[in-house]
């Protein structure tokens, strides 16, 4: 009896599962600093640390070859996408429960499929429209009570999801133009520069809530922890995708919502109401519908 050839899925799925769980743990660490430092400063510091660490790792592993970067415009756009995603999500964590902000950010695959039509010229299939309507209903279910109590800041997770969708499309355009480590390092460098600019603009012109004071040492330590955990998480997800395949790994992302819900309940005392749970369920169902349709296609 012969065994099938190809990558063994179980180790890859486990790596991806740990990676996605690490992302939610990092989000929870950011949530602990929501009243200690402005979200713009947290985002800029986290990516500045990540850019330094990834650049040092790139230099150690690949030498000076990848340092003269081509396609600066493309990488700058990738950095802008990361800036939108990070600013939106970090800002959302200042106002919203972790699980609800995470659930709304799960609309990014749906938005990616919709944006692929005008940006890449791809045809939007019926399943994409159906999944989009389902996800939109889920977003409305989560947003309605938050929008009534918070106003426009409740839309920040949608800004984050849009940034992530743009990043996924730009990553497709950047594929093959360098190693995964080089691609990650250059995105972090451009994002750090842009987030730093956003933080300075907020400090000097956007009101008292974004004024950057000198933080407690534990804030910087937690930013460093998030930088390391996020970079490790993305690397684990990359390894998991290589070993198990993208189609098998894609549903593993939903562990983020489970981990975020548990942390929000146990760590912050946030118990989602029925509308929020129903909305999150609709968004997850829409994502699985789209994943299944794309896998069949």
User: What local confidence, expressed as pLDDT, does residue 197 receive?
Assistant: 94
DSSP state of 240: H
pTM of the model: 0.79
Q: Say what the pLDDT of residue 67 is.
A: 59
The pLDDT of residue 65 is: 65
Predicted pLDDT of residue 129? 75
Residue 256 has what pLDDT? 83
Q: Which of 272, 214, 255, 294 is nearest to 16 (CA)?
A: 255
Q: What is the pLDDT of residue 193?
A: 94
Residue 252 structure tokens = 């593993």
- Residue-range domain boundaries for the chain: 9-296
**Can you read off the two tokens belonging to residue 243?**
């070993």
DSSP string covering 132-199: HHHHHHHHHHHHHHHHHHH-GGGGHHHHHHHHHHHHHHHHHHHTTSS-HHHHHHHHHHHHHHHHHHHH
pLDDT at 1: 40
CA distance 237 to 154: 29
DSSP state of 106: T
Which residue ranges in the chain fall short of pLDDT 70?
Answer: 1-9, 65-70, 116-125, 145-148, 150, 175, 207, 246-248, 250, 294-297
Region of residue 146 (left: phi > 0; alpha: psi -120 to 50; beta: else): alpha
Q: How many CB atoms lie within 10 A of CB 216?
A: 12
pLDDT at 52: 93
**pLDDT value at residue 4:** 43
């Amino acid at each position: 009896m012969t065994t099938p050839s190809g990558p063994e899925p179980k180790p890859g799925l486990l790596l991806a599962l740990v990676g996605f769980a690490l992302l939610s743990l990092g989000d929870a660490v950011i949530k602990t600093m929501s009243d200690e430092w402005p979200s713009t400063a947290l985002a800029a510091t986290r990516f500045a640390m990540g850019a330094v660490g990834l650049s040092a790792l790139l230099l150690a592993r690949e030498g000076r070859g990848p340092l003269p970067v081509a396609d600066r415009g493309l990488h700058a756009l990738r950095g802008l996408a990361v800036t939108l995603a990070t600013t939106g999500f970090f800002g959302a964590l200042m106002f919203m429960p972790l699980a609800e902000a995470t659930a709304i950010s799960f609309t990014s695959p749906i938005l990616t499929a919709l944006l692929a039509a005008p940006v890449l010229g791809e045809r939007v299939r019926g399943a994409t429209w159906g999944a989009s309507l389902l996800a939109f209903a889920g977003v409305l279910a989560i947003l309605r009570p938050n929008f009534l109590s918070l106003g426009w800041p409740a839309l920040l997770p949608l800004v984050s999801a849009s940034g992530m969708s743009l990043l996924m499309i730009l990553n497709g355009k950047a594929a093959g133009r360098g190693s995964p480590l080089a691609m990650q390092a250059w995105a972090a460098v451009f994002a750090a520069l842009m987030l730093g600019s956003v933080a300075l603009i907020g400090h000097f012109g956007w009101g008292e809530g974004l004024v950057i004071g000198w933080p407690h040492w534990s804030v910087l330590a937690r930013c460093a922890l998030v930088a390391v955990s996020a970079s490790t998480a993305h690397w684990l997800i990359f390894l998991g995708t290589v070993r198990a395949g993208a189609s098998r790994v894609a549903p593993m992302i939903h562990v983020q919502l489970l981990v975020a819900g548990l942390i929000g309940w146990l760590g912050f005392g946030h118990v989602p109401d029925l509308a929020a749970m129903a909305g999150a369920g609709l968004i997850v169902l829409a994502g699985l519908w789209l994943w299944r349709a794309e896998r069949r296609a």
